[in-house]
Amino acid sequence: MGSIDQPRCSTLDRGVRIVTESVPTAESVCLGFYYPTGSRYESEANNGISHFIEHLVFRGTRQRSTDDVNRQIDRLGGVSNAYTGKETLCLHTRVLAEDLEEVVDLFGDLSADALPPGIDDEVEREREVILSEISSVEDSPEDRVGDLCDRIFFRDHPLALPVAGSIAAVSSLTLDQIRAYYRAQLVANRLVVAAVGKVDHGQIVEWIERAVAPVPTGEPLPLQLKPVYGASTEVLERDLEQVHLCLCSPGVSRSDPRYTAAELLSVIVGEGYSSRLFREVRDRRGLAYSIYTATHGYLDAGSFNIYAGVAPQKLDQAIEVIQEVMQGVRDGDLTAEELGSAQHHLRVGTRLSQESTEARQGYLAEQLLLNDERLDRAHQLKDIDLVTLGDLRDLAAELLAGPMTLAAMGPVMASHLPADGLEFAA
């Protein structure tokens, strides 16, 4: 990316936090407006309302019609979009630096004045789009079994809720409910703005202050209860070619100093062709076409997941091998060679992502959302190098101390699987 300046931060009087990183040789800027809301802050009754708002903010404001918004985005010629997660709703774009002021003004308008009167027909059209999106998850067993695993692992906690929402909740949401939630959640004192590329910090602070002036200050983010994890088994019997498995154990939060160790553990166990699960389950025994791990970190919680797609006749053997591999990991048979290889893998991925203005912008925003002031590039690599084999073994023993939650979807009956998750021998 050429020469890079150190990140700069500012906080406006109403609490908006702004972080920028200037790349003088760039021609474009990646910009994101991040609001800490999402399915975690919802209930069964309004599940999916944040995702609904993500769709609706682009359907016009009091100043701009839907066509106006679409034409402006198309004319800018870059990429403008939005996404919702369990803990974040983000408006993001990549545009030429000369168009940055215009898109800041647009995002300010979408944050302050969307869902205008007369939008009823737009709401119903987007409702149908979202209901189709939710239904399509049933056609993707890998996604469906992941949602099921979250639901039984996080139990009654909102982290169990799917981001897109439930058909029942999305079908029943009224425009008044959506407007009230939009106005309560997209507020200035929770907003984080991140920009990386050809950007002048003082100039963008001025533009943002003007653009978000109509956005209500809002209330501070309420304290969230930490989840209580539970290990159990649940099965969705479906007429499919494969049995889709998702296993889950406690992970670590994004703010936990051990998060990097959790990432390294995932690399060793199930990311890549030389990982333990890929080598044992697929390469040596041919028991699954797809098997991998993932670590998910939230503000104060986390999960460590394993996914596998297995032919029904190979299910018992695949579960047995997964059990053996994970038991060895829990018991500390990790090696210095594996750690060194995983560190190199993660270090390369980190350095490559640092060349992407989009990835760098997302990272800076996440650091501010976590209230972590370490914004320089070097500390990411330092964190990787500081993890020791002892750290890795201690973490594996802790995360795998109990049984793993087990979700399955496909031609299998619940009675065929262990009732209370996948346990490991003492």
- Contact, 422 vs 247, CB < 8 A? yes
From the list 25, 131, 5, 36, the residue with the least C-alpha distance to 368 is 36
Q: Are strands 243-250 and 79-84 parallel, antiparallel or unpaired?
A: unpaired
- Contact, 271 vs 293, CB < 8 A? yes
Q: Where are the beta strands (DSSP E) in 334-417?
A: 405-410
Tell me how crowded residue 289 is: count the other CB atoms within 10 A of its CB. Answer: 11
Q: How many whole angstroms separate alpha carbon 229 and alpha carbon 192?
A: 30
pTM, 2 dp: 0.94
Q: How many whole angstroms separate alpha carbon 136 and alpha carbon 130?
A: 10
CA 225 to chain centre: 19
Per-residue model confidence (pLDDT) at position 77? 80
Per-residue model confidence (pLDDT) at position 22? 96
Q: Which residue has the tokens 């579960």?
A: 319
Indicate the residue type of 173: L
Query: Which parts of 212-335 fold into alpha helices (H)?
Result: 259-270, 276-277, 315-330
- Contact, 245 vs 421, CB < 8 A? no
Q: How many whole angstroms separate alpha carbon 190 and alpha carbon 385?
A: 33
Cα distances (angstroms) measured from residue 260 to each of 142, 216, 347, 421: 26, 37, 11, 26
Task: Confirm whether 8-211 and 233-416 share one CATH topology.
Answer: yes
Instruction: Say if residue 341 is exposed, middle or buried (CB neighbours under 10 Å; 0-12, 13-18, 19+).
Output: middle
CATH numeric code, 8-211: 3.30.830.10
Per-residue model confidence (pLDDT) at position 3? 60
Cα distances (angstroms) measured from residue 3 to each of 18, 197, 198, 203, 410: 21, 11, 11, 20, 52
- Residue 147's SS3 state is helix
From the list 386, 274, 393, 387, the residue with the least C-alpha distance to 333 is 393
Instruction: Answer positive or negative: Cα dihedral of 384, 389, 390, 395.
Output: positive
Q: How many whole angstroms separate alpha carbon 229 and alpha carbon 250?
A: 7
CATH class given for the domain over 233-416? alpha beta
pLDDT tens, the chain, 426 aa long? 446 789 999 999 999 999 999 999 999 999 999 999 999 999 999 999 999 999 999 999 999 999 999 999 999 887 889 999 999 999 999 999 999 999 999 999 999 999 999 999 999 999 999 999 999 988 899 999 999 999 999 999 999 999 999 999 999 999 999 999 999 999 999 999 999 999 999 999 999 999 999 999 999 888 888 898 888 999 999 999 999 999 999 999 999 999 999 999 999 999 989 999 999 999 999 999 899 999 999 999 999 999 999 999 999 999 999 999 999 999 999 999 999 999 999 999 999 998 999 999 999 999 999 988 888 888 889 999 999 999 999 999 999 999 999 999 999 998 889 889 999 876
Instruction: Say if residue 120 is exposed, middle or buried (CB neighbours under 10 Å; 0-12, 13-18, 19+).
Output: exposed
Cite the active site residues. 54
Buried b (16+ CB within 10 A) or exposed e, 191-222: bbbbbbbbbbbeebbebbbebbeebeebeeee
Per-residue model confidence (pLDDT) at position 380? 86
Contacts for 174-183: CB closer than 8 Å, 24+ residues apart:
175/115, 175/119, 175/120, 175/123, 177/46, 177/49, 178/49, 178/52, 178/53, 178/56, 178/115, 178/123, 179/115, 181/46, 181/49, 181/50, 181/53, 182/53, 182/56, 182/57, 182/114, 182/115, 183/216
Give the residue extent of every domain in the chain. Answer: 8-211, 233-416
Per-residue model confidence (pLDDT) at position 419? 87
Phi, psi of 226 (to 5 degrees): -75, 145
